Amino acid sequence: MEKLYDLLKENYGEMIEIRRFLHENPELSFEEVNTPKYIAEYHRNLGHEVTEGVGRRGVVAKLHGAKPGKTVALRADFDALAIQELNDIPYKSKVDGVMHACGHDGHTATLLVLAKVLNKLQDELEGTIVFIHQHAEELAPGGAIAMIEDGCLDGVDVIFGTHLWAPEPLGNLMIKDGPLMAAADGIYITVKGKGGHGSDPSNTKDSIVIAAQFITNIQQLVARRVDPIKPAVVSIGHIEALNPFNVIADSVYMKGTVRTFDEDTRDLLEKEIEEVLKASCYLTKADYEYNFVRGYPAVVNHTKETEFIMDLATQVPGVDELRVCEPVMGGEDFAYYLNHVPGTFFFTGAKDPNWEEVYPHHHPRFNIDERSMLIAANTLGAATLKYLLENKNN
């Protein structure tokens, strides 16, 4: 372990260089071209077995140890977001309207340099390490499910992953057994009323009023229909009626999100949201279109692997505090990997203690304390080596 930590510390400067290069050159989900080429070339230069175009745009690299053994997979995502960066930094995004506003540049830099260091330990490894570089985490259906269908988990015994987490202080590691991140579903609704002049509402079916009633009423679903010990969120984030000020809208379009942790609650809300919509439209005999689009399932960590990370984390350089965290309502398609093989996902604190203000993920001023990458690499590297060592005869 000490050799691993020393090598990672020696190569930390390269980790920063890679992260900043990727930050300057972001690519949107399902539009990644140069980033996967860069990743593949990096691994080829290390002599790894490389497969490109996995699940369309993903990259999988394999490092075979000197002796056979178990297979550990490590995953990092590399897509960016359609956000105009507002940070005044030397490595600001060069692509108008696109930035790494969620730390995926840091995830990729972490895994690439960790791969380089583990390569130097190849003669001591008993087993195989699979480096999964995933495209399109930010946009459903996501890249994970397609990469799995293309075989990225074939032969894998366990998978580990982390998310650099800006709201949490540097040095903190957060994890929990069971549900960690929510299922993320979308709702797409059109209320079809009858438009008319704003001065003559009695001869219309006011779709804006119907939509307003619907938005108010669905808040009762979480409060009164969902089991109070089962977390859920229903939010409408977009409403659109492109009319002049004096015209009652013929139709209103809405988009929103539903976040849940268990399938029963997910099924309930899919059904009950439509029931509320139907009731809201019934009063004026309006019509509607309703689409509930299932996104990523919940990220549910496996007990044995979660306890494994918890046991080793406090011994990892840079980890000052290990904390069992509350579930997070954000979604992550790492969930698909955990549906296929044992593993766990955790958060690595990335908040600079000197920052006066911390901007959330997906904000145009989002940033991370780059030292968090070294902590993440130390943790993932330690988990890999310890797992291969403890399971070499199994």
Cis amide prior to 169 (ω within 30 degrees): no
CA angle 336, 327, 153 (to 5 degrees): 20
CA distance 130 to 309: 18
What does DSSP say about strands 67-77 and 158-169: parallel, antiparallel, or unpaired?
parallel
CA distance 79 to 393: 38
Q: φ and ψ at 196, to 5 degrees?
A: 175, -175
Asked if residue 302 lies in contact with residue 338, where contact means CB atoms within 8 angstroms, the answer is yes
The answer to the question of whether 104 is labelled as a binding residue is yes
Q: Is 124 a catalytic residue?
A: no
The answer to the question of whether 362 is labelled as a binding residue is yes
The answer to the question of whether 163 is labelled as a binding residue is yes
**What token pair was written down for 74?**
């490590």
Q: Is 157 a catalytic residue?
A: no
**What token pair was written down for 369?**
């304390």
Catalytic residue from among 24, 32, 79, 332 = 79
The Cβ of residue 132 has, within 10 Å, a number of other Cβ atoms equal to: 27
CA distance 329 to 312: 27
Catalytic residue from among 27, 137, 333, 369 = 137
Give the residue among 51, 15, 55 at the shortest CA–CA distance from 135.
Answer: 55
Q: Supply the residues annotated as catalytic.
A: 79, 137
- Which residues make up each annotated binding site for Mn(2+)? 102, 104, 138, 163, 362
Q: Which residues are annotated as a binding site?
A: 102, 104, 138, 163, 362
